[in-house]
Structure 1
């Protein structure tokens, strides 16, 4: 992962038009992501709003998404961390 700062809080964004609800993300990082009532990925509260610590499981979940629907962004600066643009 490029641009990663181990101390920087991150937020997860889900491209709901891309997400197919495979569940790989929720299985990989259940403390960070879940499938919502609509069957699509949804970040848990702290990863959706204020930001939380980036874990290896969350980084893996982003990398494992089969349709690249997940992106990590800096909670402080808003810039994209992973995947690289």
Structure 2
């Protein structure tokens, strides 16, 4: 039996986000740029959680200002970026 992917919630630090769009390009199933030009998670990643994908993990890592945080949807603990 293989382990299922971890369910995650994405938080965006709106004061830090510069709207580079790298996250939305890297993980379009999880993140978009809102009308104000700031990143925002799509519904499952904002609320109840959705599967952590390699693309989403990379998008968090590549954010030039570290405005994205991944949290466990089940435990609430921080997954990325590491502190």
Query: TM-score by structure 2 length?
Result: 0.93
- SS class of match (1:60): helix
Ranges of 4+ aligned residues in structure 1 off by more than 4 Å: none
Match of 2:21 among 20, 23, 26: 23
Query: TM-score by structure 1 length?
Result: 0.91
Q: How many residues align?
A: 81
Q: Is the CA contact (8 Å cut-off) linking 1:12 and 1:48 kept in structure 2?
A: yes
Matches of 1:15 and 1:47, distance apart in 2: 15
1:6 to 1:80, Cα distance in 2 relative to 1, 3 A: farther
More strand by share: 2
What are structure 1's unaligned runs of at least 5 residues?
A: none
User: Which structure would you say has the larger Rg?
Assistant: 2
Query: What is the Cα-based RMSD across aligned positions, in Å?
Result: 1.2
What are structure 2's unaligned runs of at least 5 residues?
A: none
1:3-82 matched pairs, under 5 angstroms: 7-82=5-80
